[in-house]
């Protein structure tokens, strides 16, 4: 017998290599169809082998990894990082300035500030709706 396991459950493996924080999250992701193995949706008990490509959608991010070593028990982060090759796309850039962002500790907005924010939001809303073609009735 080989000293290293050849297969493991996919939910156990994505938890073991720390792609999700809990085993129940891994199982729930599989049941919801957020885990793909070699392009196919899989159930939690599906076997994963070295060389397989695993796609996990969790927390709004997609992780694409290639299995290099199969684990069934959760190990340290250093060991877990050696068990896969990450081919995930870089995360999307975050919005830097939100509309109506205030300095930390600036307190509650004044009535004047609130009305200025409402004007700004109404202006942006009108711009978004005006970019679509208007529904004008034809007279004629």
Both tokens assigned to 138: 């034809």
| pTM, full prediction | 0.63
Q: Note the pLDDT of residue 110.
A: 86
Round to whole Å and give the CA distance between 82 and 62.
19
Q: Which residues does residue 138 pair with via DSSP β-bridges, in sequence order?
A: none
Say if residue 3's pLDDT is above 90.
no
Query: Mean pLDDT across the stretch 48-61?
Result: 91
Round to whole Å and give the CA distance between 56 and 70.
16
The string of pLDDT tens digits covering residues 61-106 is 899 999 999 988 998 999 999 999 999 888 777 765 555 666 777 7
Q: Which residues does residue 67 pair with via DSSP β-bridges, in sequence order?
A: 84
**CA max distance for the chain:** 86
Both tokens assigned to 41: 């949706």
Q: Note the pLDDT of residue 2.
A: 46
Strands ordered across the beta sheet of 35-37: 40-41, 35-37, 53-58, 61-67, 84-86
The string of pLDDT tens digits covering residues 26-44 is 999 999 999 999 999 999 9
Q: Note the pLDDT of residue 136.
A: 58
Say if residue 60's pLDDT is above 80.
yes
Both tokens assigned to 123: 């202006």
């Amino acid at each position: 017998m080989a000293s290293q396991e050849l297969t493991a459950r996919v939910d156990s493996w994505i938890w073991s290599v720390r792609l999700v924080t809990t085993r129940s999250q891994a199982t729930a992701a599989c049941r919801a169809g957020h885990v793909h193995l070699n392009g196919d949706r899989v159930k939690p008990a599906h076997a994963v082998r070295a060389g397989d490509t695993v796609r996990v959608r969790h927390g709004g991010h997609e992780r694409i990894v290639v299995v290099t070593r199969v684990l069934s028990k959760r190990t340290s982060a250093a060991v877990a990082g050696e068990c896969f090759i990450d081919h995930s796309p870089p995360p999307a850039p975050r919005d830097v300035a939100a509309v109506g962002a205030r300095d930390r500790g600036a307190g509650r907005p004044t009535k004047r500030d609130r009305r200025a924010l409402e004007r700004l939001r109404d202006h942006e809303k009108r711009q978004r709706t005006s970019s679509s073609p208007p529904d004008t009735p034809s007279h004629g």
